[in-house]
Amino acid sequence: MSIAGEVHPHTALRRACGEHGADLHLHSIYSDGVHTPNWLVSKAVHAGLDCIALTDHDTVEGCEETAKLCEEAGLGFIPGAELTAYALNEEIHILGLGLDIHNAVFLEKMNAFQEKRLERMKKMVSLLNREGIPISVEEVLEIAKCKVPGRMHLCRALLLGEYCRDRDEVFARYLGDGCAAYVPKMNFSVREAIRLIHTAGGAALIAHVGRQVKVPAIVEYGVQMGIDGFECFYPRHSKALCERLVAVCEEYHLLVSGGTDYHGVKDRVNIGAVKVPMKYVEELKQWDCSKNSKMG
Ligand SMILES: [Zn+2]
Ligand SMILES: [Zn+2]
């Protein structure tokens, strides 16, 4: 905490870095990221960021710890999570930003998702066994060390056992959608995801829109379902796509977000490589579900 009248050293560092902004899509050891909140906050400070959001898959477990660390570092923080939904035959990730991390209904649902993830992991491992890969669920859980085991953890187990050369091969042969050991997550609709996020007072935004197969259709679908915004700034989004998404958000009065989706495993980008302008972050912070929800 800074003493009144004194400039927090990190604020001074940010000023020295010039450009202001936020990275609102980060993963930690509480899901499939490899770094602790402490490590993330320290990197965020050195990247000159003003604000971050923690968006682990199906959990808000790391948010309290990260909030405290951000406060100590003089960094803004938005508690979040990334949920998985399905629409138009595609897996869609929905970010919940500004969540009440103590909301009982939300937490209960996260527990249910975590149980489903374990069941799914058992199925994927048995499919891999059938493919001649003698991997065990215990091995994967030992790598995951969190409540939300997923494909990235299984991928790491396969690489550790040298069953594949790299991540691309793992997903192309075994874990990619429709591949030999792929098992879809539980069926959850975009509308259900939005409703659940609203229950916890958060804003629901479609993540990394550019990764979808049917980009315009998914955008239109999101707007129809009453989504609150889109993740426009993303490392793999072209400038043209980013501008198009921002234009859609302006047209429908939706929130603009963005971030690196940093996991810390051979990521091609670093924390802060994407900086969401602070005017959008302020809009996000002021967003009020009871007044601003577009859900009919
Ligand atoms: Zn995602
Ligand atoms: Zn993510």
1-37 residue pLDDT tens = 444 455 565 665 555 555 689 999 999 999 999 999 9
Give the pLDDT band (50/70/90) at residue 289: confident
Question: How far away, in angstroms, is 93 Cα from ligand 2 center?
Answer: 8
Strands (E), 162-254: 203-206, 229-233
Question: How far away, in angstroms, is 83 Cα from ligand 2 center?
Answer: 9
CA distances 46 to 1, 51, 157, 287, Å, are: 17, 12, 31, 28
Give the model's pLDDT for residue 268. 76
Give the model's pLDDT for residue 4. 46
Residue 90 bridge partners (DSSP): 87
Residue type present at position 277: P
Question: How far away, in angstroms, is 95 Cα from ligand 2 center?
Answer: 8
Residue count of the chain: 296
Residue 204 bridge partners (DSSP): 96
Burial of 277 (0-12, 13-18, 19+ CB in 10 A): middle
Question: How far away, in angstroms, is 280 Cα from ligand 2 center?
Answer: 19
Strands (E), 68-218: 76-87, 90-97, 203-206
Work out whether the CA dihedral 284, 289, 290, 296 comes out positive or negative: positive
Question: How far away, in angstroms, is 290 Cα from ligand 1 center?
Answer: 26
- Nearest Cα neighbor of 38 from 280, 264, 259, 274 is 264
pLDDT, one tens digit per residue, over 199-249 is: 999 999 999 999 998 999 999 999 999 999 999 999 999 999 999 999 999
Question: How far away, in angstroms, is 4 Cα from ligand 1 center?
Answer: 40
* Ligand found nearest the CA of 211: 1
* Ligand found nearest the CA of 25: 2
Question: How far away, in angstroms, is 57 Cα from ligand 1 center?
Answer: 8
Whose tokens are 């050891």? That residue is: 29
- Report the relative pairing of strands 203-206 and 90-97 from DSSP bridges: antiparallel
Domain annotation for the chain: domains and CATH numbers? 9-110+187-292 (3.20.20.140), 116-175 (1.10.150)
Is residue 42 within 8 Å of 13, Cβ to Cβ?
Answer: no
**What's the predicted TM-score (pTM) here?**
0.90
Which residues are placed with Cβ below 5 angstroms of ligand 1, an ion? Answer: 93, 207
- Report the relative pairing of strands 51-57 and 76-87 from DSSP bridges: parallel
Q: Is 122 left (phi over 0), alpha (psi -120 to 50) or beta?
A: alpha
* Ligand found nearest the CA of 26: 2
SS3 call for 57: strand
Helices (H) and strands (E) in the chain, counts: 12, 7
b or e along 242-257 (b: 16 or more beta carbons within 10 Å of the residue's beta carbon)? bebbbebbeeeebbbb
Question: How far away, in angstroms, is 73 Cα from ligand 1 center?
Answer: 27
Question: How far away, in angstroms, is 55 Cα from ligand 1 center?
Answer: 9
The two tokens of residue 141 are 């859980």
Question: How far away, in angstroms, is 11 Cα from ligand 2 center?
Answer: 27
The two tokens of residue 130 are 């059938």
| Residue 237 φ/ψ, nearest 5 degrees | -85, 135
Please determine, for residue 177, whether its predicted confidence score (pLDDT) is greater than 90: no
Is residue 83 within 8 Å of 196, Cβ to Cβ?
Answer: yes
Give the model's pLDDT for residue 16. 53
List of residues 6+ apart from 7 with CB closer than 8 A: none
